[in-house]
Every structure is written in C-alpha cells, then in structure tokens.
Structure 1
Amino acid sequence: MPAFRRSIFAIICLIAFVLYLRGSSRPPDLPDAPGYRPVQEIFAEEQDSYDRAQRQKTSNRGQIALGATSIAPLRERLRYQFPYDLDRSFPAYIWQTWKYDPSSPHFSDEFRGTEASWTELHPGFQHEVIGDDTQRHLIQYLYGSVPDVFEAYDSLPLPVMKADFFRYLVLLARGGIYSDIDTMALKPAGYWLAEEIDRTKVGFIVGIEADPDRPDWHEWYSRRIQFCQWTIVSKPGHPILRDMVAYVTEETLRMKKAGILEVGKMDKTVMEFTGPGAWTDSVFRYFNNPDYFHIKPGDKNITYTDFTEQTTEKKVGDVIVLPITSFSPGVGQMGAHDTNDPMAFVKHNFDGSWKTDPSL
C-alpha cells in the first residue's frame, strides 16, 4: 500500500510539473499602452453616422440625392466604400509589386527566390505580383467610386511614390499582406502572432523598422521610432490605412493645384509624403485618436518611448506592433536579432532598386 501511494503521489507531482511548464511557457497577456482603452464600438458607429448623414440627403423617394456621395468629405467616402469589420478574418491575400509580373521573361532572376518564398510558405493564399502595367487598372477599378483617389495615384510623378501609395490602397480595399518584392518570408503568417492572441481582436500588424539610439539619428532616419512599410498586414478598411490614403490624396491634389507636383518642385520629400515618415505619423495618429480610444485628460500620449528597445509583440487596441527583429532580422544594429530568432518572420534584402530606376 505505501508503494502504491508513493506511485500515486509521484504521478500527481509529474502532472503538476507538466502543467507548471505549460503555464510558464505562455507569454504574458499583452496590455494596451497605459491610459488607453480601445473603443471597439466606434467602428460600427462610424458606419451608422455616415448612413444617417446620407439619409439626410435623401430625396422624397428615398434615393440619395444626386452628387451626395461625391461631395462628402474624403474620409467619410472611404469609410463608406471600405467599411472596417474587426471580427472578420484576415483575408488570405499576399500582394507584391514589380515592374513585370513573374510570368514575364523580364522579371528579374534575383527576385525569383524571394517571390517564391511567399508562395511556398502560404499554399492556401492568393499570391499576386502586380506589374506596372496592371497597377493603374487595378486602382482605377478598386477606387472608381472615389475618383479623387485615382486622380491622385495617376498624378504622382515618381514610380516610388506610386509603389508606396499602391500598398496602402490595395490593403485598404482588400486587406491581407503586402510585402516588397525583395523580402523573403521566413515563417508562415499564421505564426506571426502568439497562439494566445485572439485574432478577432486584431485588425492590423505593423513592425518596427528603425529604433536608433545614436544622437544623430535624424541624419539617418525620419523618426526616432520608424514603422516598417515594406511588410504590412491588415484587415480591409482599417482606419490607419484610411487616414494614410486620405493624407496622400489630399497632399497630392493640393500640390497639383498649386502647380508644384513635379520633381524638384514638390514641398515634401518622398519620406514625408508617401514613405516611412508619413506612414509612421499615420500610425501614431491612430494610437492617439480619441475617436478610437478613451483618452482621459492628462493621459500621456503614445510616443516612441512606448516602443523603443521592444523585444516582443505589443498590443495597442486592435494593432499588434512587432519588434525590429520580426521584419528586420540580421541588420546587426538597433537590437535586431538574426534570422534564426523565433521572432524573425520576414527578411528584407534592401534592394533599393527604385533609387537607380532610370525613369526617376
């Protein structure tokens, strides 16, 4: 009997030890930034508000008055055309762009491996590499109901600006993953979020591109913390993308009207117009927007200090911010670990071919 009891006791201890290991291996809950509570209901309220405004413009027959949608503010029209549903799944799309699609003999051999990595690791996804000759038609199709957006895209004077704008446009309209053609997928997207994270409470994933701590950081980067835009994951209609599309559209049409939308005349650099500087500002605008978060008087704004030296994911409302290792592994600086790190998901080869594009 004593031997039997010892056996039972040993089994109980073993079970308790296994449960302890399982519990201790789980990452801690990811709290939102201090002082902020996401207002999830606002996403549905936005649509209701827009619908009420349109009903006020309705004729006696119950039809929207002629021109009502065209005179509504741009952000309202984008919200109406591309509503945001947090509860839906992330669409299984992978979007990339290049001068030619992979079926073309002109598609560069140096990108064959990186492009194939996305298909190989995501067999159930629809993977599209959109060539230059197709991009314009796709944007015209997606934004036919918002013609000023297409006008802005069509008016941009540099290929790099069109490439920047395209990623925001296609993700706003269709969602999924956008990643530059010179990126290598290291892990399937299904592993980018910890198992404990409820996907129905996440609508957007962004990574840190740069976290410089050197005093002359401004000579190398546009922001102290700079968010990555070579790889972005989003559900359709996310407010960050809506804000960015509206910003680029408004700035483009402003400069066009002023007659300065030309190389050498523009009053904004690529970085501050369509690139990482403007993109980072849009993300921070969302984090500090009282329309989406309960912000009490005296609460601290979310700034770069909330993300510097970050080593794991951080959740802010419906957004997951990944550390620099996730989309910039192996850069050898700013705390980025190597490509074999568990948090390394995408490797960027920094081809920078747009800088030597003869069309520039």
Structure 2
Amino acid sequence: MSMSVSRVAGSSLPAQLLHHVTRRRHRFYGAVAVALLLFSVAIWVYGGFDRGVDFITSLPRPPPQSPPQHPHQQPPPAVPPSSSSLAGSSSTHGGHPTQTSPAAKATSSSDWRHSSQSPAANVSHGIPPKIWQILLPKKPTNQKFIPKPEILEETPSWLVMNTDYAYTVVSQDGGDEVVQQYFGDDPRILDAYTKMPNVGMKSDLLRYLILEAEGGVYSDTDTVALKPINDWVPAHLRDKVSVVVGLEFDRRDGPAWADILHDVQFCQWTIAAAPGHPVFRKMVERILSKLDELSAEHGLPIEQLKPSSVEVMNSTGPAAWSEVVFHQLQEFDNTITDYRNLSYMTEPRLIGDILVLTIDGFGMGQPHSNSTDDGSIPEAALVKHLFKGSWRGNDKRSGDAEST
C-alpha cells in the first residue's frame, strides 16, 4: 500500500489529477447506486401502505394446527379473530383481553368466531374453545333486553374453569344474527325461528343452530362447570370425538315416567360438539317437520300453538334430541337396537364419533337413574344442573323464561 502511494506522489501532475478524478468518480457512482436503492425501497413501502398491506402480519408464519377431521364431520369454516360478547361490556379474563360488542352492533361475522391462533384452539379434539349460553326475553321486543344479573350467577364457574375459551351469552339480537348469518338462505328455518310459539322452544332450536354453525360447548345458565372442558374427553379418545352427550334419565329397572318418553334419555342442557356434525342438521329437520305436524293437528299456525310439556319435549326438547342422537348412534353401530342398550353404563362409551357419558357426567345430583345424590361430587361429574328453570309439572318451558 505504501509503495502505491509513493508512486502516485512521485508521478507527474496530470497523473495525480487523473488518480483523484477516478476516485471521485467511483465515489459518485457508489452514492448514486445507494440513492437508487433507497428510493426503490421507499417506493415499495409507500405502495404497500397505499394498498393496505400489513407488513407485520403478512410475514410468513407456520400454519396453525387444525383439529382432526372425522368422516362424519364437515370441515369448519375459516376462522378470523373474534371477540367474546357479554351484554356489550369489556373485560380482561385469564390474562387475555375479552373484547365485547353491544348486541345492537352485532353485524360482523368475526363477532361470532374465535381465532385459531388462540392457545386454547390447539386442543387435540375437534371441539372448538367456545362456550355458549342463551338468554332470550319471554316475548320478542323492540326494546333493548337487559336480563337480570342473578341469572348468570353460575357463569364464573365456566370462566374460571376454562380460561382462554371464548364465552358468549346470546340474547335476542345475537340470536337473530346467528340465524340470519348462517341460515338466511333457508326460509323454513327463518320462519320457524321467528314464529316459535314459546321462548323455550326457540332456545332449543337456537342451541342446535349455533352448534351446527360454530361448534363449541352449549350449556344452560343454571349449570355449574365442575371440570375444565379440555378434560371432558379422555386423552386416548381426543382425536376421535366430535360430539359429547350425557344422560339425563336412565330408567334401569325402575317404573316408566309419564313425562319421560324413552327408557334412556339424553340431556340437552349441556352439549359439546365440533361444527358441522350431521346430528344437528337432522335435529333441525326433525323440529321443522314436528312443527308442521303440530300445526296441522291443532289447526293453528305455528305462532298460535300452545304446546303441552310433552309436545315441547317431543318437538324441540330432550325427547326429540334423544331420538335423533339414538338414530345417529345406530348408524354408527347396528348392534344398538334399543334405548336400553345404553342403560347401566358405568363408563363413557365412544360410538362412532359421539362420546356418551354416564349419568353422572352431566346429570349428577338427581334422585333417580343411579345418579350420585348424596351431596358429594363424583369423579365422573363434569357439569351440575341446578334445575332453576325446571318446567315439568307446570306446563311451562321455563320457570324464568328469560333464562335457558
């Protein structure tokens, strides 16, 4: 390097001038190249912002794990991030913000979905991390419906047991939105939901529609969560279960009940399911058919019907639900020929992709059906039903028709 400098220093004046000009020219070209590069980057970034590109979320990331699909389960729709909703308030739960929106503003499909990026979304069975409860007014109203706070006094058990789950309480506006959004192209469903003769039957139909469209766990407001939902399905069955049902009645060797139509009956105060399971479409079709039968039998339009408790049970309630579930189980296992094939169960039984729980699973604390009723909580118990809205014996679907 020193020899080169000495040669330049000892050369003639023209040679020295040529050397300096060459160095400056190289620097100039280098500066121009850098400037062009920066200008190109600036144009790209500006154009991206102008097109609304999010340069953070558009970066490549590993795809989220999807729940396993089963041969009897339709694939769930794509799930953009959503908010839990609870009477239009906002809170923080389990360290994660729970955004809520007023029912009057419930117009976005994202309000009804839960992000697949949620930690809870990676549970190993196909039941999404959503909890649904329903609060409908006794009669449709144009005024904002505000339920009594005490109706939700059991809700904390669901929130504490199931952090990171989306919780939604669906009222009149939200129910209308669900039906319109997912089933608006079926005038039969819209007509039946709008004209349903009482709030209990309307709530029954709505829970089946929500579970068909969204999946998750539906449970009445008078239920207490005893174990986390993630523990409801045994670990060795989690990749095989799409629906979880429990018994509310098991006749066993006892006498028949006048208002219980089957020897074994499934409850519908709590149901867990992956979205799109065929059992819900079959249930909805049965409801539509039964409403037409009742209308023809009584010679009245649907909205003027005054169904008895047995008619309610056999059209939208647990008797109807039990028949649909039973027939679905028969499709999976042709050795099931009678309801009593499901009697005396001592452990959960997987039939097809439906997990049938024992009586204590969802039905502990009852004075029948060999349900544990000694004040203790059995190991098999997942949910306790308090029967605050019991309607049997008074021909009403709900003692407090605001809650279901």
Quick check: TM above 0.5? yes
* Within-5 A mapping of 1:40-189: 41=71, 89-99=126-136, 106-189=146-229
Q: SS in structure 1 opposite 2:169?
A: strand
Instruction: Give the direction of change, closer, same or farther, for the CA distance of 1:196–1:357 in structure 2 (3 Å limit).
Output: closer
* Within-5 A mapping of 1:315-354: 315-337=350-372, 339-352=376-389, 354=397
Which protein shows a greater Rg?
A: 2
Q: SS in structure 1 opposite 2:247?
A: strand
Residue 342 of structure 2 corresponds to residue 307 of structure 1: yes
Q: Which amino acid aligns with 1:212?
A: R
Give the structure 1 partner of residue 264 of structure 2.
Answer: 225
Q: SS in structure 1 opposite 2:236?
A: coil
Give the structure 2 partner of residue 201 of structure 1.
Answer: 240
* Whole-angstrom distance in 2 between the partners of 1:105 and 1:280: 32
Aligned-residue offset at 1:107: 3.3
Contact 1:327 1:345 in 2 (8 A): yes
Instruction: Give the direction of change, closer, same or farther, for the CA distance of 1:218–1:358 in structure 2 (3 Å limit).
Output: closer
Q: SS in structure 2 opposite 1:273?
A: coil
* Within-5 A mapping of 1:242-321: 242-253=281-292, 255=294, 259-261=300-302, 262-264=304-306, 269-289=311-331, 295=334, 300-321=335-356
Structure 1 residues without counterparts, runs of 5 or longer = 1-39, 45-86
1:294-327 C-alpha deviation (Å, 9 max, x unpaired): x5xxxx4342222211121001011100001011
Contact 1:96 1:181 in 2 (8 A): yes
Give me the CA root mean square deviation. 2.8
* Whole-angstrom distance in 1 between the partners of 2:354 and 2:271: 11
Aligned-residue offset at 1:216: 3.4
Aligned-residue offset at 1:265: 7.0
Q: SS in structure 1 opposite 2:153?
A: helix
Q: SS in structure 1 opposite 2:154?
A: helix
Contact 2:199 2:401 in 1 (8 A): no
Q: Which amino acid aligns with 2:383?
A: V
Instruction: Give the direction of change, closer, same or farther, for the CA distance of 1:326–1:266 in structure 2 (3 Å limit).
Output: closer
Q: Which amino acid aligns with 1:151?
A: D
1:151-178 C-alpha deviation (Å, 9 max, x unpaired): 1111211111001111111000110000
Aligned-residue offset at 1:189: 0.6
* Whole-angstrom distance in 2 between the partners of 1:230 and 1:267: 16
Instruction: Give the direction of change, closer, same or farther, for the CA distance of 1:302–1:141 in structure 2 (3 Å limit).
Output: same
Contact 1:152 1:253 in 2 (8 A): no
Aligned-residue offset at 1:280: 0.3
Aligned-residue offset at 1:88: 6.9
* Whole-angstrom distance in 1 between the partners of 2:236 and 2:135: 36
Aligned-residue offset at 1:93: 0.9
* Whole-angstrom distance in 1 between the partners of 2:300 and 2:145: 39
Q: SS in structure 2 opposite 1:169?
A: helix
What TM-score, normalized by structure 2, do the two folds share? Answer: 0.60
Contact 2:295 2:305 in 1 (8 A): no
Percent of residue pairs identical: 31
Residue 392 of structure 2 corresponds to residue 355 of structure 1: no
Aligned-residue offset at 1:342: 1.2
Contact 1:90 1:235 in 2 (8 A): yes
Query: Which one scores higher on RCO, CA 8 angstroms, separation ≥ 6?
Result: 1
Give the structure 2 partner of residue 72 of structure 1.
Answer: none
Contact 1:152 1:249 in 2 (8 A): yes
Contact 2:135 2:172 in 1 (8 A): yes
Q: Which amino acid aligns with 1:202?
A: V
Of 270, 275, 279, 1:236 maps to 275
Contact 1:208 1:227 in 2 (8 A): yes
Structure 2 residues without counterparts, runs of 5 or longer = 1-69, 75-123, 138-143, 391-396
Q: Which amino acid aligns with 1:93?
A: K
* Whole-angstrom distance in 1 between the partners of 2:283 and 2:172: 22
Instruction: Give the direction of change, closer, same or farther, for the CA distance of 1:157–1:264 in structure 2 (3 Å limit).
Output: closer
* Whole-angstrom distance in 2 between the partners of 1:177 and 1:242: 17
Aligned-residue offset at 1:281: 0.3
Aligned-residue offset at 1:148: 1.8
Contact 2:208 2:284 in 1 (8 A): yes
Q: SS in structure 1 opposite 2:170?
A: strand
Q: Which runs of 4+ in 1 moved over 6 A?
A: 265-268
Contact 1:284 1:302 in 2 (8 A): no
